[in-house]
């Protein structure tokens, strides 16, 4: 046993570090946190200065026992967890749980997993920073207090099994406020006028510098233009430049990966962590845009080699985000010479995005010439303006262009060389009706940007916050196909004005976040009873106080006491005085019965109610359809819900009914259910269409019915269709078939070919000296098999590059206890 023990929090990180250091060091992993507050109890003694009662996690008790033995056999224990508050807390919990003596402990930190970084860290150890630990403790304890005391109130006042959190509740509030702004938005239209001018046989577009509110005003303007001679008033040329964006922070990486790659925030962080632990990028939780002198020099060298000296410009960026945390570097490659990395497509794409952004941040400005041509309309105050840009020198644009959530209108490039006084011919002048756009719903990326702007949360909390509110169904991601609407355009051509009515699509949305009805009701209740918790500036102030604890400027228990006293008082008031929240909204009266119609949140979800709840007469209820909300449903839409379930007629002497359930509209026939397509209205679907869907479902059931195809080596082959598509079952194993395969038509020869091919198709690595041992590609990722058992491959490991010795080591460390000794002997 070596006399130096290094403890990190991730197996992949441990493996990467072990490659860079000698045999005098043993590197092990804690596999994340080892202690936490108890699951079922508060675990905090408020009366004893917020004393936390930590417990070793149940799945870490054996690990802690093993660490204790290793610590006893070591001279020095190097705690090498991540260099942030969470990492510092993991190191502290390890010391406490494993009883690691302070005098044999050294804390080392690094922002990248490279040999140079590890060597530098080992040469400059420090002691544990208790201020960082206390900042993490304060956040954990405060969030536990909020969740533990607030959630039971939501169970009583809104609905059972709900939960609340400090940052997540504010994130939901942002989404609710945006949704209400959209619902309250009144669409207006104005006429945008664009002229197509001709100069020396070359055409260019120019837009009028004002818009007209009515069709009549736009028509009058075009009428005036019939007799106008257009002359260039001024041509302005001005040099300008564009500078590159700084290298990535956590939030800007999440935003750009969403825009350019379509990654969710959590997916970006999972892949970034794998890249970091494999040694390819620097630490991925950071709000710093700073680059080290080493990185600046490496970027300069790469730029000069690739593009030339004129493309290089060294830049030092400063962090501007509110409450920027520890002094990390920005997210960058550990080696600028690596333009890509091994691994799957997702890892490659994210790495290449980081590489390009880092390189571009150290490149020259793009030099641009902006040209503006102004053309007055004689007899009127308006002017046509044409703007164009020509890139004279690409600079950083040669490598990278930053994306934005809301793209600007297109800027034309080249404009013809006209001069002041030149006469132009108006080939066509078009006035097009344009509709004002409501505020855009949040995407994951734009929500992260807003949280950062408000100083709410930190790099480590953005992804978990969004994942939590989605998982708890306070918000949902939606895709909308959009709707069609008509618009008017007036065209002046050859002294004639023509009016046309065209159609356009609007309202298309992809992966936009909207509040659910439960999210709306919970938000309303918290706003009414816990206004401080829901206040943006208060939440940002709490984050700032965590920063001050980390800097040693305030005492963490005092900060908690200041927060908790007011918060607990609000809890007591809410228990005593607040009423049950349902989000009830009166829509009007049922014209048939004159009874009131309400939309509200019920025990089983959002619903509509007709009538009051009297002893002698009960109200009628109907469930809302998917896509409807208690906040926006109209009286007419609510009354339509009571048309369901409805009888459509009889087929084969059995009744057909159409209804709506938890998963949408359905047809019920002969005790079975058939889904109605989302594009069809259940209140209007015809008898003929119902029969068509019933017969279609029957054909599908026949096609999907499992069938025995034959035998192979005395064992039956069965074909079936499951949740993920068609497959074969043979010898207790499933073999996936290509999408669209008709199992009813499959022959025994085809089935045998699929089974035999699959035995070699998924093999990534095999070893002639040990034919039972293989590295395989499975549905959930690569794994190792020894012919009997399967073994997980640590995250960050490139499966295709595994050697026989490395495979045996993985098998030895993860196989069932009864078989470990055998495998360890083989690995020796």
d(CA 241, CA 44): 57
Structure tokens of 400?
A: 């990278």
What are the distances in angstroms from CA 245 to CA 356, 465, 745?
11, 26, 57
Nearest to 52, CA basis, from 131, 173, 157, 134: 134
Quote the DSSP letter at residue 416. -
d(CA 119, CA 21): 8
Please give the sequence-ordered ranges of beta strands (E in DSSP) within 346-400, or none if there are none: 366-376, 383-393
Buried b / exposed e over 449-466, threshold 16 CB at 10 Å, is bbbbebbbbbbbbbbbbb
Q: Specify the length of the chain in residues.
A: 828
Q: Is 276 a catalytic residue?
A: no
Nearest to 35, CA basis, from 77, 74, 63, 13: 63
User: In sequence order, what are the beta bridge partners of 447?
Assistant: none
User: Which is the catalytic residue, given 283, 666, 783, 823?
Assistant: 283
Which three-class secondary structure state does DSSP give residue 320? Answer: coil
Cα Rg for the chain, rounded, in angstroms? 33
What are the distances in angstroms from CA 54 to CA 1, 461, 471, 560, 821?
31, 22, 26, 17, 35
| Residue 689: half-sphere exposure toward Cβ, Cα within 13 Å | 13
User: In sequence order, what are the beta bridge partners of 726?
Assistant: 721
Please answer whether residues 184 and 522 qualify as being in contact, where contact means their C-beta atoms are separated by less than 8 angstroms.
no
Which three-class secondary structure state does DSSP give residue 166? Answer: helix
Nearest to 447, CA basis, from 652, 170, 226: 170
Please answer whether residues 438 and 182 qualify as being in contact, where contact means their C-beta atoms are separated by less than 8 angstroms.
yes
What are the distances in angstroms from CA 261 to CA 254, 349, 352?
10, 8, 11
Q: Show the 3-state SS of 555-573.
A: CHHHHHHHHHHHHHHHHHH
Give the torsion sign (CA, 244, 248, 252, 255): positive
Structure tokens of 248?
A: 């990535």
Please answer whether residues 7 and 30 qualify as being in contact, where contact means their C-beta atoms are separated by less than 8 angstroms.
yes
DSSP string, 627-686: T--TTT--HHHHHHHTT-SEEEEEETTEEEEEEEETTEEEEEETTEEEEPPTTS-TTT--
DSSP string, 264-295: -HHHHHHHHHHHHHTTSB--S--------HHH
DSSP string, 418-442: --TT-EEEEEEEEEEEEEPPPPPPP
Nearest to 80, CA basis, from 138, 39, 120, 51: 120
Token look-up 């078009």 returns: 430
User: In sequence order, what are the beta bridge partners of 774?
Assistant: 766, 785
DSSP string, 60-127: GHHHHHHHHHHHHT-SEEEE---SSHHHHHHHHHHHHHHT--GGGEEE---SS-SHHHHHHHHHS-B-
d(CA 475, CA 470): 5
What are the distances in angstroms from CA 798 to CA 280, 615, 775, 783, 795?
12, 69, 11, 11, 9
Which residues touch 614 (CB under 8 Å, ≥6 apart)?
Answer: none
The set of catalytic residues is 283
């Amino acid at each position: 046993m070596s006399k130096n023990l290094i403890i990190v929090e991730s197996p992949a990180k441990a493996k990467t570090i072990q490659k860079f250091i000698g045999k005098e060091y043993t590197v092990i992993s804690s596999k994340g946190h080892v202690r936490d507050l108890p699951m079922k109890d508060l675990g905090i003694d408020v009366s004893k200065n917020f004393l936390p009662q930590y417990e070793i996690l149940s799945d870490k008790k054996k690990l802690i026992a093993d660490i204790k033995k290793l610590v006893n056999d070591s001279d020095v224990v190097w705690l090498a967890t991540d260099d942030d508050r969470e990492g510092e807390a993991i190191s502290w919990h390890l010391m406490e749980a494993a009883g690691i003596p302070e005098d044999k402990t050294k804390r080392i930190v690094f922002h990248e997993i490279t040999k140079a970084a590890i060597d530098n860290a080992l040469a400059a150890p420090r002691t544990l920073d208790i201020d960082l630990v206390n900042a993490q403790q304060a956040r954990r304890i405060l969030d536990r207090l909020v969740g533990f005391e607030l959630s039971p109130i939501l169970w009583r006042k809104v609905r059972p099994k709900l939960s609340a959190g400090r940052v997540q509740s504010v994130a939901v509030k942002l989404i609710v406020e945006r949704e209400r702004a959209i619902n309250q938005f009144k669409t207006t239209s104005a006429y945008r006028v664009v002229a197509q001018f001709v100069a020396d046989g070359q055409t260019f577009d120019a837009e009028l510098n004002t818009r007209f509110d009515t069709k009549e005003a736009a028509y009058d303007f075009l009428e005036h233009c019939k007799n106008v001679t257009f002359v260039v008033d001024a041509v302005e040329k001005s040099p300008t430049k564009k500078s590159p964006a700084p290298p990535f922070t956590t939030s800007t990486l999440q935003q750009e990966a969403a825009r350019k790659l379509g990654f969710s925030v959590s997916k970006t962080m999972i892949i970034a962590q794998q890249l970091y632990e494999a040694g390819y990028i620097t630490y991925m939780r950071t709000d710093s845009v700073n680059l080290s002198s080493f990185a600046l020099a490496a970027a300069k060298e790469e730029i000069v080699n690739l593009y030339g000296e004129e493309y290089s410009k060294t830049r030092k960026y400063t962090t501007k985000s509110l409450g920027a945390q520890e002094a990390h570097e920005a997210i960058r490659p550990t080696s600028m010479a690596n333009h890509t990395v091994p691994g799957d497509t997702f890892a490659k794409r994210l790495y290449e995005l980081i590489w390009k952004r880092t390189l571009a941040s150290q490149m020259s400005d793009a030099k641009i010439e902006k040209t503006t041509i102004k053309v007055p309309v004689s007899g009127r105050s308006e002017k046509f303006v044409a703007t164009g840009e020509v890139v004279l020198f690409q600079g950083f644009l040669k490598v990278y262009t930053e994306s934005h959530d809301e793209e600007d209108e297109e800027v034309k490039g080249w404009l013809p060389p006209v001069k002041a006084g030149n006469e132009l011919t108006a080939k066509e002048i078009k006035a097009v009706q344009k509709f004002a756009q409501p505020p855009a719903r949040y995407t994951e990326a734009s929500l992260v940007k807003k949280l950062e702007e408000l100083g709410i949360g930190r790099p480590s909390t953005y992804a978990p916050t969004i994942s939590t509110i989605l998982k708890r169904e306070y918000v949902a991601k939606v895709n909308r196909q959009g709707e069609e609407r008509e618009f008017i355009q007036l065209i002046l051509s050859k002294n004639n004005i023509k009016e046309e009515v065209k159609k356009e699509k609007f309202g298309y949305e992809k992966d936009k976040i909207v509040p659910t009805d439960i999210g709306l009701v919970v938000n309303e209740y918290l706003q009414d009873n816990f206004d401080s918790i829901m206040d943006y500036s208060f939440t940002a102030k709490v984050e700032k106080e965590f920063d001050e604890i980390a800097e040693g400027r305030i005492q963490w228990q005092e900060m908690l006491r200041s927060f908790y006293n007011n918060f607990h008082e609000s809890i007591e008031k809410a228990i005593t005085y607040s009423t049950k929240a349902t989000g009830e909204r009166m829509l009007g009266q049922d014209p048939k019965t004159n009874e009131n119609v309400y939309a509200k949140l019920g025990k089983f979800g959002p619903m509509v109610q007709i009538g009051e709840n009297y002893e002698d007469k009960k109200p009628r209820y109907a469930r809302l359809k998917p896509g409807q909300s208690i906040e926006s449903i109209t009286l007419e839409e609510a009354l339509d819900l009571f048309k369901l379930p409805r009888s459509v007629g009889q087929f084969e002497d059995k009744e057909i009914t159409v209804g709506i359930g938890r998963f949408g509209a359905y047809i019920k026939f002969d005790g079975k259910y058939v889904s109605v397509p989302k594009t069809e209205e259940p209140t209007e679907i015809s008898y003929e269409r119902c029969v068509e869907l019933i017969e279609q479902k029957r054909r599908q059931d026949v096609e999907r019915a499992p069938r025995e195809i034959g035998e192979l080596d005395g064992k039956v082959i069965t074909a079936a269709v499951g949740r993920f598509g068609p497959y074969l079952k043979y010898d207790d194993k499933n073999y996936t078939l290509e999408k669209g395969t008709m199992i009813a038509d499959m022959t025994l020869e085809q089935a045998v070919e699929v089974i035999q091919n699959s035995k070699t198709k998924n093999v990534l690595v095999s070893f002639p000296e040990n034919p039972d041992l293989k590295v395989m590609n499975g549905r959930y990722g690569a794994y190792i098999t020894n012919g009997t058992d399967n073994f997980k491959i640590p995250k960050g490991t490139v499966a295709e590059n595994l050697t026989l010795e490395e495979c045996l080591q993985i098998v030895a460390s993860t196989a069932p206890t009864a078989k470990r000794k055998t495998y360890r002997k083989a690995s020796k």
